[in-house]
Homo-oligomer: A and B are copies of this chain.
Amino acid sequence: MENLSPLTHGDLAGQPVTAVRRAIRESRYSGQTSGLGMGLLQGNLVILPEALALDFARFCQRNPKPCPLVGVSDTGIPMLRTLGADIDIRTDVPLYNVYRDGELAEQLTDITGLWADDSVAFVLGCSFSFEDALSAAGIPLRHIAENRNVPMYRTNIETVPAGTFGGAMVVSMRPLSVTDAIRASEITARFPEAHGAPVHFGDPAALGIGAMDRPDWGEATEIRDGEVPVFWACGVTPQAAVQAAKPPLCITHAPGRMLITDIPSGEVGHHATDIPVARSIEKTGI
């Protein structure tokens, strides 16, 4: 293989998605995807053996706010035809977490060697889509301004279980003024494939959250006078459910390293049969 030098986020920001995807596919970029492929839907990834796939599909159907399913591969087929013209799920995520029996075993930039005849890939919408829309509406997002990870908390809201999958819903928190919280609810409600409207705002105790300064994932964010904490269902929920179910092998994206699709944000889901890419791909028989 030729000598391919690593690329930075700055190198790829503003580049067309094909260039970003090539850099990721060639393992030249393994960083976070926020701010890349702007305007395109990004997704969380969960790869499971087929024997667990029906239960996981049921888990997503029953918990659409934390688990908005935007694409499912055919069994053993790594090309995600409904999400793009040329998406190979074995190579097109910057960094993968490999879990064995529920424990993180390794991180890889390419999982071609682990993809099997019975592998099924699930892609779930992520909050990057709605964060773009909030920023465009002038709503300030502190964790982005401070270049930190959004804080995430385990709640007392039980997901509706399916098979071995279940457990607590995880939420992400963004501090906003009340006016911005209302506007953010209005805007994010339009993104059901990116967790939709908040599940709560105001009182962390109502969700069973104790210390706001000690998030279960991500980094704490200051809540200033006049602000309320606003909580959205979070894509870590299915990852936590999968880890608790302890399947022999499960592969996910590493946090913040998402799959970038060809689907414009906000146009997926209920409009899937209108998506030109899915239709045109079908016709070319890729």
Contacts and interface: CB of A to CB of B under 8 A. Distances in A.
Contact of A273 (B72, B233, B273): B233
Contacts of A72: 57-58, 61-62
A64 B169 contact: no
A159 to B, nearest CB: 7
Interface in A265-286: 269-274, 278-279, 282
Interface string A148-168: 000000000111111100000
A272 B65 CA distance: 8
B278 A64 contact: no
A25 B161 CA distance: 27
A196 B75 CA distance: 29
B69 A273 contact: no
A118 to B, nearest CB: 11
Given A160-B82, A282-B158, A271 B65 contact: yes
27 contacts: A54-B57, A54-B75, A54-B120, A57-B57, A57-B61, A57-B72, A61-B71, A61-B72, A62-B72, A62-B82, A62-B273, A64-B271, A64-B272, A65-B271, A65-B272, A65-B273, A65-B274, A68-B270, A74-B162, A158-B282, A160-B272, A160-B273, A169-B273, A192-B192, A192-B269, A192-B270, A196-B270
